[in-house]
Structure 1
Amino acid sequence: MLGIFKEKLVNAPKELNSPASLNSSNNKPKLSHEILHNFMSNNSSNAFCMNFGHDALLAYSPLNQPSIHQRLFSGVDNIYCVFLGSLHNLSMLNKQYGLSKGTNEAMFIIEAYRTLRDRGPYPADQVLKELEGSFGFVIYDNKDGTVFVASGSNGQIGLYWGIAADGSVVVSENLELIKASCAKSFAPFPTGCMFHSEHGLLSFEHPTKKMKAMPRIDSEGVMCGANFNVDSQSRNPMMPRVGSEANWATWG
């Protein structure tokens, strides 16, 4: 999976961008089209890409061999989702949302996102806490031009994010692709967290706490992006409920 989103769409944490990326002579960050070329050339012939103008793209390649973790892609009403992993309680969730039994995880995530975007009755952190299993997903809402990323709390699905040469945010589960694409400007996407392109990073496990950036130092002693952890000494306002403008699409 690969998502690339231009800087004007995504307000990424500034700590992701390492000055060492520009100073390295061996490994410099790549431009978006170079990253996409690498992804497509290194994956199976059934990999595909969707471009949304010049601002966003999603690329996807199905698994070539059986795995307990799925890769799924779905698009409904101009909302697109790449989902990695599996939800143990999908049947219950589909019933709760009034969806058919054949609805897979990616389709469910889109429906849940759309419900919450359109002033659903639950805050986003509560919805994500109800997802039982291993998951990581990226949503691009082409109607609103927004990006939503989340990673499950058990850490079994690892996502990574970084900054490309043109300032775009790159998201993938492929660590080697992220390293080659973003040089020193990358980090693991924090587990138990969700990110919205306009309003930033939030822990859905601890929604009342702020996130704190901790510098990452690589084996060469160079600063390499940042890890993001929950700041136990901080406090965020509670996420507003139904009737508020704040939800998956517009919390803040």
Structure 2
Amino acid sequence: MCGIIGAFELKQPASSLRSQVLEMSKRIRHRGPDWSGIFTGEKALLAHERLAIVDPKSGSQPLYSPDGKVVLAVNGEIYNHHELRNSLPDYEFSTQSDSEVVLALYLAKGPSFVDELNGIFGFALYDSRDDSFFVARDHMGIIPLYYGEDEQGQLFVASELKSLEGFCTTIEQFPPGHYLYSKTGKAPQRWY
């Protein structure tokens, strides 16, 4: 069990939201006592609270693409990550983490890769190359994920409801088997 926080569609500099995202992340620290990480870009923030199960030495998150332009935070487990790794011979994996395969698949195939995942997961990915984001939840909804907006219309995602309380004016459960890709709209879309 880990925990993630994401902040997208920012109406103010990400640096001014950093302390808020850290507070949101602190509310779910019990989900991942082994590591806390945060990415603060120009237009997005991602935070991760890690419980080290797979690759405890080098699987810290958020994870970054080799060029540092795509960032990922995952809560869950990708059961078929070995097979998926083998299908991506051109990608240089930097960890043994099952989560890194999500990043590699996105870089190779774009958001359609989600059909290939077998596992339980909730993740948030930010692509600074085109200021897009991609959020998804496993088809059974085993891994919790919530999303909400604040008064300015900034979008937040979190592993637990309590991370969003007091910061968002609207909060909803992210539906199982859905994804949200910023290039195709603001509402989660069914993929499974």
Asked if 1:47 corresponds to 2:36, the answer is: yes
Query: What 5-or-longer segments of structure 2 have no aligned partner?
Result: none
C-alpha separation between the residues in 1 aligned to 2:34 and 2:190? 37
RCO comparison, higher one (Cα < 8 Å, 6+): 1
The 5-angstrom pairing of residues 78-93 of structure 1 reads 78-93=69-84
Name the count of aligned residue pairs.
171
Percent of aligned pairs sharing the same letter: 23
Which amino acid is the alignment partner of residue 90 of structure 1? H
Match of 1:116 among 102, 109, 120: 109
User: How does the TM-score come out when normalised to structure 2?
Assistant: 0.76
- 59, 70, 74: which is aligned to 2:47? 59
RMSD: 2.8
Q: How far apart are residue 90 of structure 1 and its match?
A: 1.0
Cα displacement (A) at 1:6: 2.5
TM-score by length of 1: 0.60
What 5-or-longer segments of structure 1 have no aligned partner? 9-30, 118-122, 206-252
Change (3 A) 1:92 1:202: same
Name the SS for the 1:139 alignment partner.
strand
Q: Give the one of 86, 92, 109 matched to 1:95.
A: 86
8 Å CA contact 1:90, 1:105 repeated in 2: yes
1:34, CA displacement in angstroms?
5.8
Distance (whole Å) between structure 1 residues aligned to residue 34 and residue 80 of structure 2:
33
Q: Which amino acid aligns with 2:9?
A: K
| Contact 2:35–2:60 under 8 Å retained in 1 | no
* Distance across 1 between alignment mates of 2:25 and 2:10: 22
| Separation in 2, partners of 1:84, 1:115 | 21
Once residues 92 and 161 of structure 2 are traced to their aligned partners in structure 1, the CA distance between those partners, rounded to angstroms, is 35
3-state DSSP class of the match of 1:47? strand
Which of 98, 105, 109 in structure 2 is aligned with 1:105? Answer: 98
Segments of 4+ moved more than 3 angstroms: 31-34, 40-46, 99-103
Equivalent residue runs for 1:89-238 within 5 Å: 89-98=80-89, 103-117=96-110, 124=112, 127-183=113-169, 185-200=170-185, 201-205=188-192
Residues 5 and 169, structure 1, Cα contact 8 Å, conserved in 2: yes
| Preserved contact between residue 32 and residue 166 of structure 1 (Cα < 8 Å) | no
